[in-house]
Amino acid sequence: NAGVTQTPKFRILKIGQSMTLQCAQDMNHNYMYWYRQDPGMGLKLIYYSVGAGITDKGEVPNGYNVSRSTTEDFPLRLELAAPSQTSVYFCASSYRSVGFIGAKNIQYFGAGTRLSVL
C-alpha cells in the first residue's frame, strides 16, 4: 500500500548544484502537487498538475521546474540551488472529479524530502 513515494528522504546540495526530487503515486490520482515547508510555517504550493502533460505554477514557483509525462510521476527540478531553497519538500496527490461540488478531493502526502543547500 505505497500511496505517494518521495525520494530521496534527505539531501545536501552545494550552491549552484542541481537535482531532481522524485515523486510517484500508485492511486491513479489525476492531480499532483509539490509543496515546500519552511521551519515553523505551513506548506506553500510550488507547482501542481491536473493530469499528464499539464502543469501550472503555485504560490512560490521561482527556482523550480516540473514535468508530468505520466499519471504516476511528478518530478521537481531545482536547477541552480540557493540557500533560500533549504526546506522540506512534500509531494501530494488527489483524485478530482471536476464539476462534482460535493467531492472531498483529499490530498495524500508523501513522507517529504529534507533538503539543505549550503
Binding site for other proteins (CB under 8 A): 31, 33, 40-45, 48, 50, 58, 88, 90, 92, 94, 96, 101-102, 104-109, 111-112, 114
Least gap, CB of 111 to other proteins (angstroms): 5
Q: Which is nearest to 19 in space by CA: 74, 83, 78, 75?
A: 78
Instruction: Using the minimum distance from each CB to other proteins, give the nearer residue, 9 or 17.
Output: 9
Length of the chain, please?
Answer: 118
Distance between CA 72 and CA 68 in Å, rounded? 8
Closest to other proteins by CB, 33 or 74:
33
Q: Smallest distance, Å, CB 80 to other proteins? A: 26
Q: Which is nearer to other proteins, 43 or 78 (CB)?
A: 43
CB of residue 11 to other proteins, shortest distance in Å: 15
CA distances from 37 to 41, 46, 105, 110 (A): 6, 10, 21, 13
Closest CA relative to residue 89, chosen from 70, 110, 105, 108: 110
